[in-house]
Amino acid sequence: MTAEGQLREWLDAIAAPGGVVSAVEVVVASTGGFAFRHAAGFRVGGERLGGGAPARFDIASLTKPWMATLGLLLDRDGSPRLSDALPRSGGGAPAGNGATLEDLLRHHAGLPAWTPLAPRLGRRLGEAGALRDFLLGERAGRSGRAGEFHPERGARSTPVYSDLGYVLWGLLAEEAADAPLATLLDERVCGPLGVAALGELARGAEIPDAVECRLDNGREVELAAAQGIALGRQRALLRGVPQDANARTLRAAGISCAHAGLFATADELLALAREWLRPEKLLATAEVERALAGGGEYALGWARQSAEGSSGPALSPAAFGHTGFTGCSLWIDPRRATIFVLLAHRHSSAIDFNPFRREFHRLAAQLPLETLR
């Protein structure tokens, strides 16, 4: 069987009844061509998901690279700069301990990974200032924990992947730019890339071409319980509504969030990835190099390749990418000049989806990618 046939057969299997995903679409491409494209599973109910028709997935944390791209563009205009220090709670002067907006986008600012915002803030959830001060307070309360910012050493301990850090960055970016985050994303990123206005779509009442998501909220229930907060289990099918509870409640409260909440097609993710692989419409090469500079697990807006992570050993050490909790991932391998888009909605939060992402990359790496050059 050809490499294309093996990959197609594997995708059909994971999206078949009893498989691990309800829907999946993948694209393997370069800056100028396609090596492979296939879709399987269900769009909604019993309607099959086929290639060619637009399919908009809940990309969850794949929202973050879009926001990091916006962060680089706003930095270019100085509103805000990535080097700006984080403010004190209450909107006072900068905290003065060296943590910056760039640290937020690199998961180095010392915020906790996650907390359920609705039960923690109650009616204050819809107040941007109250939410900002709450998040700054969460950061200040992380004494002695992994990811804490140590001003006396000018460095962080082990970085902590933080949804809350991106939520805070979004609030601070809106304040500095004096514009809604969704508008900034659409005008500065989506428009020049020639893709749909993703920010406006995320704020709308209906997401066109949305693919239903059958993923439960079991992981959120577990994480909240560890913080002494009881959340109800949810197994309802979602279509055009974020699976991420914080993104869902912030959207309902009228607040644009930067950690999750976007819905995108494979072509839209491909457009973003091509810009990072070969800057042309939005970014400068120096900005991409700055974002990817340094070491450790995270770059600005992206994770770095690791054999045990979502990329797997099939991608080169130069590869960078990101995942989304629903089952999505986007990886860019500069050495291969190849982009790997995986859009999927897994059935259960109990499923570790990284082995499936690694297998996708292993199979995709066997495609005749030289035809893309």
Instruction: Identify the CA nearest to 163 among candidates 122, 201, 116, 127.
Output: 116
Number of domains in the chain: 2
Confidence (pLDDT) at 237 = 77
Q: How many CB atoms lie within 10 A of CB 341?
A: 28
Whether 300 and 151 map to the same domain: the answer is: no
User: Band of the pLDDT at 149, cuts 50, 70, 90?
Assistant: very low
Average pLDDT over residues 114-124: 96
Phi-psi region of 140 (alpha: psi -120 to 50; beta: other; left: phi over 0): alpha
Q: What is the mean pLDDT of the chain?
A: 92
Of 161, 193, 225, which residue sits at a domain end? 193
Distance CA 329, CA 321 (A): 7
Distance CA 121, CA 37 (A): 43
Whether 147 and 110 map to the same domain: the answer is: yes
**Residue 104 within a domain:** yes
Average pLDDT over residues 56-62: 98
Distance CA 345, CA 328 (A): 7
Q: Which residue has the tokens 């294309």?
A: 4
Whether 242 and 362 map to the same domain: the answer is: yes
Of 168, 193, 218, which residue sits at a domain end? 193
Whether 173 and 133 map to the same domain: the answer is: yes
Instruction: Identify the CA nearest to 299 among candidates 31, 30, 71.
Output: 71
Whether 85 and 115 map to the same domain: the answer is: yes
Whether 312 and 246 map to the same domain: the answer is: yes
Whether 199 and 316 map to the same domain: the answer is: yes
User: Where are the strands (E) in the chain, listed by range?
Assistant: 21-29, 34-44, 47-48, 57-58, 149-150, 155-156, 263-264, 303-304, 320-323, 329-333, 338-346
Whether 144 and 259 map to the same domain: the answer is: no
Of 167, 193, 219, which residue sits at a domain end? 193
Kindly state the tokens that stand for 182. Answer: 């969704």
Whether 315 and 229 map to the same domain: the answer is: yes
Chain centroid, CA 242 distance in Å: 12
Domain range for residue 169?
A: 65-193
Confidence (pLDDT) at 152 = 40
Question: In the 3-class helix/strand/coil scheme, how is 181-197 assigned residue by residue?
Answer: HHHHHHHHHHHHHCCCC
Whether 74 shows a pLDDT value over 80: the answer reads yes
Whether 223 and 249 map to the same domain: the answer is: yes
**Residue 292 within a domain:** yes
For residue 203, give the H/E element and its range: helix 198-203
Longest dimension (CA), the chain: 64
Whether 278 and 319 map to the same domain: the answer is: yes
User: What are the CA-CA distances from residue 166 to residues 52, 60, 102, 141, 153 (Å)?
Assistant: 33, 13, 10, 18, 24
**Residue 70 within a domain:** yes
User: Band of the pLDDT at 369, cuts 50, 70, 90?
Assistant: confident
Whether 102 and 73 map to the same domain: the answer is: yes
| pLDDT cut 90: percent of the chain above it | 84
**Residue 373 within a domain:** no
User: What are the CA-CA distances from residue 356 to residues 15, 60, 352 (Å)?
Assistant: 12, 17, 8
Confidence (pLDDT) at 146 = 42
Average pLDDT over residues 40-45: 94
**Residue 262 within a domain:** yes
Average pLDDT over residues 341-355: 96
**275 within 8 A of 70, measured Cβ to Cβ:** no
**Residue 229 within a domain:** yes
CATH (domain of 106):
3.40.710.10
**140 within 8 A of 110, measured Cβ to Cβ:** no
Average pLDDT over residues 341-346: 98
CATH (domain of 246):
3.40.710
Sequence-separated (6 or more) residues with CB below 8 Å from residue 280: 274
Whether 151 shows a pLDDT value over 70: the answer reads no
